[in-house]
Amino acid sequence: MSDQNQAAQTAAPLIRLERYAWLSIAAAIATILLKGVAWWMTGSVGLLSDAIESFVNLAGALMALWMLILAATPADKIHAYGHSKAEYFSSAFEGFLILLAAVSIAYAAIGRLLNPQPLEAVGLGLLVSVAASVINFMVSRILMAAGRQRNSITLEADAHHLMTDVWTSVGVIGGVGLVWLSGWLWLDPVIALLVAANIIWTGVTLMSRSASGLMDAALPAEAEEQIEAIFAEYRAQGLEFHALRTRQAGSRTFISFHVLAPGHWSIQLGHDWSERIEAAIRNLLPGAHVTTHLEPIEDPVSMVDQELDRDV
């Protein structure tokens, strides 16, 4: 299979992923309006914090759309491995915005803690907030399923953020309800501070995962074990393998390794076996870009080039 055809097959699903980003944008706008109305009706700083986080959802969804479009751009002379790493910029950006929102929420909560104010129209306000949470929950499930199916960290990050928003809303709604029933006004800003702490953790996690991807982290151990299992099947044919290297770049997977074949084999025979092995790995990890290097198994030099930086 040519690199051009493989790039085209990889880009096609990424382009279709854009519709999920548009769904996230629509959900963010809807929840901003609903939560804004809930805050306006009740005056709850907890509900205000929930509304502020929805602005982060919108910014993250817009960034996700942009990065998914960029990630789908075919490889070119400057970016020979494609643009799939653009997805990590989206999740890192969303993590940064989450941290920024946490600071804003904490600032508003501390001010309300020092100057408590009564809540108004709580029942109707909570009902509006519940409607917004239902929207976020449904969209989060859709994005998570699509992200896992297409191996898109952008959609997974957006889904995790929306789900965090759902649990945040549950806490805020419960807290505002307790304030309404008990009259303890201090509960509202305290819950807002807990919301800020929770989303700080989410932001740090997203940024850490993005940094790991940008640093070319290897595939999960389970995936590498499956690749080793394929190698074991071909060792019975007189082949050996080493210098296995893997990395995840957004929705794309890159795998390289050396194939050690008997020296008396023809180039054509060694090439044919390498093609079979590459096909087996692509069947295991659809869309993976597999690169092999053929070496004679009897040559001692074949055993000293296993490291990334070769000294001889």
Do the beta carbons of residue 68 and residue 22 sit within 8 Å? Answer: no
Instruction: Out of 1.10.10.10, 3.40.50.300, 2.60.40.10, 3.30.70.1350, select the CATH number for domain 221-303.
Output: 3.30.70.1350
Q: How far apart are CA 297 and CA 235, in angstroms?
A: 12
Q: What integer pLDDT is reported at residue 119 of this predicted model?
A: 56
Domain ranges of the chain: 3-214, 221-303
Residues ≥6 apart with Cβ < 8 Å to 187 = 175, 178, 179
Do the beta carbons of residue 105 and residue 195 sit within 8 Å? Answer: yes
Tell me if the pTM is above 0.75: no
CATH topology of domain 3-214: Alpha-lytic protease prodomain-like (1.20.1510)
Is pLDDT of 134 > 80? yes
Coil, helix or strand at residue 228: helix
Residues in the chain: 312
Q: What integer pLDDT is reported at residue 274 of this predicted model?
A: 94
* Mean pLDDT, residues 174-196 taken together: 73
Is pLDDT of 245 > 50? yes
The residues pairing with 259 across neighbouring beta strands, listed in sequence order, are 241, 294
Alpha helices in the chain (DSSP H): 3-16, 18-42, 45-71, 86-114, 122-150, 153-182, 187-214, 221-235, 267-284
Q: How far apart are CA 213 and CA 93, in angstroms?
A: 14
Q: How far apart are CA 117 and CA 102, in angstroms?
A: 21
Q: How far apart are CA 266 and CA 275, in angstroms?
A: 14
Band (pLDDT 50/70/90 cuts) for residue 49 is low
Encode pLDDT of 154-170 as tens digits. 787 778 778 777 777 77
* Mean pLDDT, residues 192-213 taken together: 79
